[in-house]
């Protein structure tokens, strides 16, 4: 398959007239200053974006909780009520629409932080990974790479048994969790990672049992209350606790990483860990602004995710690293456009290190953005990270397959209708 790009953002910068040859899901050659040939992609072609942190079912809360007063903890009660309504069939249908929305918004891979494991009340499904398999099928049908970050969630808080809703999240022990996860089989577009829900949900003596996957994600210091509870129980910050138990490694990705001490930042950097920021969700929940620049300067790899899917737009999450840090620091120019693009396209965060670059040998994932919309008209191509939105995505290729053409999803007809129908049904059930 041959693609010709009017502009393409290559590892060395933006080039014109770039011919990309694709075979077997890989890029086989990249040639700038080439004559038109094959499928013409007008605009700017970028590496596909990576969604480092998603809870697909939270999409059903969009527009239903944003106006409410309260805290993260009161919002969580609404989220738990939604979680109790889902089964493998309803989760498949909802997630299929959500993943289609992600592709339309510029994402070509997603890390799904998955803890809806069992039936309401905590009994195993006849197929113990029925909920995870529903997500696999949803992602396959929507045409996006999926890493199932199967999440260990054992407690309702430090020293607290899971409540009625949380029992469906728990396998009872880290060893039972690992046994269930071991039966998941990977395929071309599906990989398996691990997650520790939080230091609140996994006892300290079981943290190291989870730290065996190729990648391990954790909600870390998202809320001040989490830090206070951890200090009260262990005399340590959550980051220090992970370090004490050998879980702070270069395979760890700290999600949110909002309320960190200077020592926490140093420890994460020394370990060469990652940090996944989810700015639109962090704004929605009033979490705060994390120390993105300080973490990057310490050696932490940055990535972004849509988390609650209150917004699904790869450009909005990516530029928010810069814009939110401006608010916190009262300085402009905290990140270069190249640094932002690197964070937004870091697929290694979710276990796809071969993806995220337009170069020979890389996985053939790329996204073409219009440069002639009302948002992007007249910009320099390098300004697309700040100017564009998901609505400007015109063409998406995932593993060498055209999933979006001319802004239309090729695998699911009218994803917006699918989403509306499933969300309405969930709330009426």
Catalytic residue among 7, 58, 197, 256: 256
Q: How far apart are CA 132 and CA 136, in angstroms?
A: 6
Count other C-beta atoms under 10 Å from residue 329's C-beta: 14
Q: Is the dihedral of CA 128, 218, 322, 65 positive or negative?
A: positive
Residue of 284, 307, 324, 365 marked catalytic: 307
| Cα Rg of the chain, angstroms | 21
Pairing relationship of beta strands 107-114 and 145-152 according to DSSP bridges: parallel
- CA nearest to 83, candidates 65, 111, 56, 45: 56
- Which residues, including other chains, have CB under 8 Å from residue 94's CB and lie 6 or more apart? 56, 57, 59, 60, 86, 138, 419, 422, 423, 426
DSSP per residue, 231-249? HHHHSS-HHHHHHHTT--S
Give the max Cα distance, the chain: 66
* Distance of alpha carbon 189 from the chain centroid: 15
Give dist(CA 284, CA 282) in Å, integer. 6
CB of 37 closer than 8 Å to CB of 21: no
DSSP annotation of 185 reads -
Cβ-based neighbours of 320, under 8 Å, separated by 6 or more = 277, 279, 280, 304
Coil vs helix vs strand at 87: coil
- Exposure on the CB side of residue 346, measured as CA atoms within 13 A: 23
Helix H or strand E segment including 79 = helix 72-83
Question: What is the Cα–Cα distance from 171 to 169, expressed in whole angstroms?
Answer: 7
Residue 324 tokens read as 């939110």
Cβ pair 116, 83 in contact under 8 A: yes
Does 307 participate in catalysis according to the annotation?
yes
Contact assessment for residue 275 and residue 295, using Cβ atoms and an 8 Å cutoff: yes
Q: Which residues are catalytic?
A: 256, 307
């Amino acid at each position: 398959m041959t693609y010709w790009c009017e502009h393409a953002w290559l590892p060395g910068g933006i080039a014109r007239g770039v011919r990309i040859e694709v075979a077997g899901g890989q890029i086989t050659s990249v040639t700038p200053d080439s004559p038109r040939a094959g499928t013409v992609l007008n605009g700017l072609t970028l590496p596909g974006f990576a969604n480092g942190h998603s809870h697909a079912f939270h999409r059903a809360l969009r527009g239903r909780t944003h106006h409410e007063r309260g805290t993260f903890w009161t919002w969580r009660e609404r989220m738990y009520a939604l979680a109790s309504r889902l089964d493998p069939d309803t989760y498949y249908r909802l997630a299929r629409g959500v993943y289609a929305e992600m592709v339309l918004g510029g994402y070509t891979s997603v890390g799904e932080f998955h803890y809806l494991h069992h039936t309401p009340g905590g009994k195993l499904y006849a197929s113990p990974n029925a909920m995870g398999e529903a997500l696999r099928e949803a992602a396959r049908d929507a045409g996006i790479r999926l890493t199932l970050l199967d999440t260990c969630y054992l407690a309702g808080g430090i020293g607290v048994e899971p409540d009625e809703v949380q029992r469906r999240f728990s396998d009872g022990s880290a060893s039972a969790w690992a046994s269930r996860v071991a039966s998941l089989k990977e395929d071309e577009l599906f990989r398996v990672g691990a997650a520790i829900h939080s230091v609140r949900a996994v006892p300290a003596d079981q943290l190291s049992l989870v730290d065996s996957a190729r990648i391990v994600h954790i909600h870390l210091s998202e809320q001040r209350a989490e830090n206070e509870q951890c200090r009260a129980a262990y005399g340590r910050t959550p980051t220090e606790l992970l370090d004490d138990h050998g879980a702070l490694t270069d395979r760890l990705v700290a999600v949110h990483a909002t309320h960190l001490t200077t020592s926490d930042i140093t420890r994460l950097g020394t370990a060469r860990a990652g940090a996944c920021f989810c700015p639109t969700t962090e704004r929605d929940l009033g979490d705060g602004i994390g120390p993105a620049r300080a973490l990057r300067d310490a050696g932490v790899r940055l990535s972004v995710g849509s988390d609650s899917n209150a917004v699904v737009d790869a450009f909005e999450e990516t530029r928010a690293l810069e814009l939110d840090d401006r608010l916190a620091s009262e300085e402009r120019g905290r990140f270069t456009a190249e640094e932002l693009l690197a964070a937004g396209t870091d697929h290694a965060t979710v276990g796809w290190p071969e993806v995220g670059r337009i170069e020979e040998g890389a996985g053939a994932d790329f996204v073409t953005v219009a440069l002639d919309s009302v948002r992007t008209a007249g910009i320099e191509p390098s300004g697309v990270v700040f100017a564009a939105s998901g609505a400007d995505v015109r063409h998406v290729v995932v593993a060498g397959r055209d999933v979006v053409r001319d802004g239309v999803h090729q695998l699911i007809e009218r994803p917006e209708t699918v989403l509306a129908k499933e969300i309405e049904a969930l709330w009426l059930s």
